[in-house]
Structure 1
Amino acid sequence: MKKHLFLTFLTSVSLCACAQEAPKVKHKKTVTLSEQELKNIKVVNAEDPVCHMKTAEFLKDTAVYQHKTYGFCSASCKEEFKKRPAKYVRQ
């Protein structure tokens, strides 16, 4: 009899635990520019300062440094630039 009560109790606790609502995760809103919007952005560089690919044809991302907008072929080039922008900016 004690086994039945224990198993019933254990089953009830398990069911209640499973019925709890999953925690809600807050996602950061990311602003993604469309290809058309990126083409309308004026950048100060004709080529990616990190990999030297032409940005006019392959502009995927931008970053602002010293009030100037720089264009990049990829997010990885942008991240590399952001680590040491002075290294890549030609004075």
Structure 2
Amino acid sequence: MKRVILIFSVLVSIQAIAFQQEPKKEKSETLAKNGTDPVCKMTVKKGTKLVSNHKERQYGFCSKMCKESFEKHPEKFVKN
């Protein structure tokens, strides 16, 4: 019976420690410099969170719709 209580105490302690830790935040990627949306050709300002990477290059977008179009077929919008 003492073993069960000891194991239970250890598990409760581990759980308490786990809840005290802050959850890891995902890195929020933003556009590094001003650019042009490759889909609609609108100007996109530095800092926008609507970004996508393709072939080691970062692209910014004016809207979620443009970003989704680009991510489906990036070759259609990027010159090689």
Which band: TM-score by shorter chain? 0.5 to 0.7
- In structure 2, the partner of 1:88 is 77
Post-superposition offset of 1:55: 0.8
| Cα separation, 2, equivalents of 1:78 and 1:54 | 14
Percent of aligned positions with the same letter in both sequences? 38
Q: 1:51/1:58 Cα in 2 relative to 1: closer, same or farther (>3 Å)?
A: farther
Note if contact 1:60-1:73 (Cα within 8 Å) is conserved in structure 2: no
Post-superposition offset of 1:69: 1.0
Larger Rg: 1
Residue identity opposite 2:44 in structure 1: T
Post-superposition offset of 1:67: 1.2
Residue identity opposite 2:38 in structure 1: P
More strand by share: 2
Note if contact 2:51-2:60 (Cα within 8 Å) is conserved in structure 1: yes
Q: Is the aligned partner of 1:54 residue 2:43?
A: yes
- In structure 1, the partner of 2:59 is 70
| Cα separation, 1, equivalents of 2:52 and 2:67 | 7
Gaps of 5+ in 2: 1-25
Q: Is the aligned partner of 1:42 residue 2:32?
A: yes
Q: TM-score, normalised by structure 1?
A: 0.48
Post-superposition offset of 1:58: 8.7
Note if contact 1:62-1:69 (Cα within 8 Å) is conserved in structure 2: yes
Q: Is the aligned partner of 1:79 residue 2:61?
A: no
